[in-house]
């Protein structure tokens, strides 16, 4: 196998993922949901459209509200289209020992302190304060439940 380089580690997709250790068992794979991706961007467009409207009203420019709202929508739409392939390639794998992410991210399950839902995303907080975001999950609560159950199982096995 060839040596990894910084560019390969930056790219998303299976090529940028680290492999499983000997004897490590894959429990689940969490991939971004395309429908959730678009719903998240519609929410962002609505938020920034409303923010543009409020700012323009505060600045005393009510005649420019339509332009501001359309500009906010266009910016978010451009962002959604531009980043779609990259965002949807970021998958996470849960094993019986670790949570493995894109770009060679890895954390031991016993390092996981907390998992919480943020809209359609799941934020994993480690004991050391590191934060990792699993974006655009179809079932965020299911991801949280799976990660915390795997962590509890790992803690039991280590304690034995």
Count of the separate structural domains present in the chain = 1
Nearest partner of 146 among 67, 28, 36, 40, judged by Cα: 28
Asked whether the predicted pLDDT for residue 2 surpasses 70, the reply is no
pLDDT at site 21? 86
Q: Is residue 157 part of a domain?
A: no
Q: Is residue 62 part of a domain?
A: yes
Spatial distance between the Cα atoms of 46 and 49, rounded to a whole number of angstroms? 5
Q: Is residue 116 part of a domain?
A: no
pLDDT at site 105? 87
Whether the CB-CB separation of 39 and 120 falls below 8 Å is answered with yes
Residue-range definition of the domain harbouring residue 63: 35-86
Spatial distance between the Cα atoms of 151 and 108, rounded to a whole number of angstroms? 9
pLDDT at site 151? 96
pTM of the model: 0.81
Strand order in the sheet with 92-95: 26-30, 92-95, 98-100, 106-108
Asked whether the predicted pLDDT for residue 5 surpasses 60, the reply is no
pLDDT for 50-109, tens place per residue? 999 999 999 999 999 999 999 999 999 999 999 998 889 889 999 999 999 888 889 999
Asked whether the predicted pLDDT for residue 15 surpasses 80, the reply is no
Helix 65-88 and helix 34-58, axial crossing angle in degrees, nearest 10: 150
């Amino acid at each position: 196998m060839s040596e990894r380089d910084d560019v390969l580690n930056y790219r998303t997709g299976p090529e940028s993922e680290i492999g499983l250790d000997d004897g490590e068992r894959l429990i689940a794979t969490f991939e971004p949901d395309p429908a959730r991706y678009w719903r998240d961007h519609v929410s962002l467009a609505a938020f920034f459209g409303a923010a543009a409207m409020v700012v323009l009203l505060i600045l005393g420019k009510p005649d420019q509200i339509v332009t501001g709202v359309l500009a906010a929508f266009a910016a978010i739409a451009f962002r959604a289209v531009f980043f779609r392939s990259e965002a949807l390639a970021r998958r996470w794998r849960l094993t019986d020992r670790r949570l493995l992410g894109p770009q060679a991210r890895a954390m031991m399950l016993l390092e996981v302190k907390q998992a919480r839902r943020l809209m359609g995303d799941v934020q994993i907080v480690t004991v050391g304060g590191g934060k990792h975001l699993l974006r655009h999950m179809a079932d965020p609560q299911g991801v949280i439940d799976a990660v915390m159950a795997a962590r509890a199982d790992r803690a039991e096995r280590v304690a034995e």
